[in-house]
């Protein structure tokens, strides 16, 4: 007989130290999260033509919904939403018309000033504190011309790409306006459709958390609108007093850039500073830069703490980090949406975590449901959260009381009661 080969002992996880097992588990979870995030980022990048207009429409809907809600009850919801959308479109077209008119009248005159302004700037660089020699300046200008000539094909390709981008922008504007109308008109129904796909046990928690997140998003957008208007007024007034050209385009650019908190105004301030340097000389350019810095400091140390601090609970360092990350990952769109997405996610996660702890405490005390009532820990009676009493209102006809898919509420005694009919803010069918 031949002696059989020895068999390997079966693997026993108990032989591994617990820290190794814990680290392996966390590593696997982090890898899965990173992989999922990468896939989502790739999908967002490929579908940015659709996703970016939809995201802008969501921000505008959060900002403009109170205006729709204030329109009298006798006006149909669809008409109210249409009036608001048309009003937004009229404001945008008026701003574009003002910018185009000033550019059309100012550019021809600006051409005559560019040559003299450039010569004055070169003299300042040569005779000013930098003490750059004429040879070095001429060498830099020659290098710039050589680069332009050697990259003429790339410049032409960029012009073609700009044409495609313009077409995409027009399509994006149409998608944004149509989506904004339906978000204002049927936003409640769209949200309820999503909630019904969730497990029945988690519907109320998720619904309440995201309604609070929606409230934070609306507060953020309206507050940032105020901050952007103040920044644009400050920089525009300074440009007007210093007689810097193209005041209206400067105001529009600063207003739009201010929706990127803290850094947007400072970056947009480069445009009036350069215009002041070319048109009015170095001294006026320095004064314009000082005005931009003052406006930026007022935003960072006065407006953000006083106004934004009441809207969203985000530290300024967190704002800078998420804006940087959003810009690196998704460019201008990422910079625009980094803070509102973070603010909404912060509200949702904190509320879900608080409700989870409250439910755990209710279960330990032997709550009525064995796992705590839906309102355990933090009693949210109907209507306490904005729009909370509208959950089942819009579809009350299609989903009568007792339907398994109906999202139900809890009164202050923990007794389940159906939601009351939706009010003006319900986004329900035409009245």
- Written as six digits, the tokens of 344 are 């909404």
Spatial distance between the Cα atoms of 257 and 276, rounded to a whole number of angstroms: 19
- Is the pLDDT higher at 280 or at 185? 185
- Averaged over 394-416, what is the pLDDT? 42
Q: Is residue 416 helix, strand or coil?
A: strand
Cα–Cα distances in Å, from 279 out to 16, 33, 111, 130, 326? 73, 52, 10, 21, 35
Helical H segments across 134-151, by residue range = 134-150
- Written as six digits, the tokens of 92 are 């945008």
In terms of pTM, does the model score above 0.75? no
Each residue of 263-301: b (16+ CB within 10 Å) or e? Answer: bbbbebbebbbbbbbbbbbbebbebbbebbeebbebbbe
- Residue located via tokens 């314009």: 288
Q: What is the pLDDT of residues 304-354, one digit of tens each?
A: 777 776 667 677 778 888 888 888 877 778 888 888 888 888 888 888 887
Q: What is the pLDDT of residues 60-99, one digit of tens each?
A: 999 999 888 888 888 898 999 999 999 989 998 998 888 8
| Residue among 172, 179, 211, 171 nearest 81 (CA) | 179
Cα–Cα distances in Å, from 277 out to 10, 206, 274, 281? 78, 54, 5, 5
CB 53 within 8 A of CB 176: yes
The DSSP H or E segment spanning 410 is: strand 409-410
């Amino acid at each position: 007989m031949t002696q059989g080969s020895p068999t390997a002992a079966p693997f026993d996880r108990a032989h591994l130290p617990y820290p190794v097992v814990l680290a392996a588990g966390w590593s696997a979870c982090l890898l899965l999260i990173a992989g999922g995030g990468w896939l989502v980022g790739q999908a967002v990048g490929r579908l940015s033509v659709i996703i970016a207009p939809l995201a802008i429409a969501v921000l505008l809907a959060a900002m403009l919904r109170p205006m729709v809600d204030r329109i009298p009850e006798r006006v149909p919801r669809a008409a109210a939403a249409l009036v608001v959308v048309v009003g937004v479109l009229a404001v945008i077209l008026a701003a574009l018309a003002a910018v185009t008119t000033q550019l059309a009248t100012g550019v021809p005159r600006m051409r005559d000033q560019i040559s003299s302004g450039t010569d004055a700037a070169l003299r300042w660089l040569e005779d000013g504190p930098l003490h750059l020699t004429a040879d070095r300046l001429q060498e830099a200008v020659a290098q710039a011309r050589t680069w332009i000539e050697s990259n003429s094909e790339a410049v032409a390709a960029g012009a073609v790409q700009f044409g495609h981008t313009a077409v995409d922008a027009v399509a994006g504007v149409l998608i944004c306006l149509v989506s904004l109308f339906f978000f204002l008109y049927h936003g409640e129904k769209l949200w309820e459709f999503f909630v019904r796909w969730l497990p029945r046990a988690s519907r109320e928690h998720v619904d309440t958390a995201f309604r609070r997140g929606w409230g934070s998003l609306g507060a953020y957008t309206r507050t940032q609108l105020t901050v952007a208007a103040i920044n644009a007024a400050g920089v525009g007034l300074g440009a007007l007093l210093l007689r810097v050209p193209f005041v209206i385009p400067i105001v529009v650019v600063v207003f739009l850039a201010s929706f990127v908190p803290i850094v947007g105004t400072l970056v947009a301030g480069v445009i009036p500073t350069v215009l002041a340097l070319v048109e009015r000389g170095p001294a006026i350019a320095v004064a314009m830069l000082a005005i931009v810095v003052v406006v930026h400091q007022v935003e960072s140390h006065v407006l953000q703490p006083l106004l934004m601090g009441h809207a969203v609970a985000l530290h300024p360092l967190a704002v800078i980090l998420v804006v940087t990350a959003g810009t690196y990952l998704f460019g201008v769109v990422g910079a625009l949406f980094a803070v509102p997405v973070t603010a909404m996610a912060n509200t949702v996660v904190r509320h879900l975590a608080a409700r989870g702890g409250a439910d755990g405490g209710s279960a330990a005390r032997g709550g009525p449901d064995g796992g705590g009532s839906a309102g355990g820990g933090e009693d949210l009676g109907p209507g306490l959260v904005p729009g909370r009493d509208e959950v089942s209102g819009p579809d009350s006809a299609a989903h009568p009381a007792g339907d398994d898919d109906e999202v139900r509420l809890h009164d202050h005694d923990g007794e389940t009661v159906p939601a009351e009919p939706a009010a003006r803010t319900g986004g329900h069918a035409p009245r």
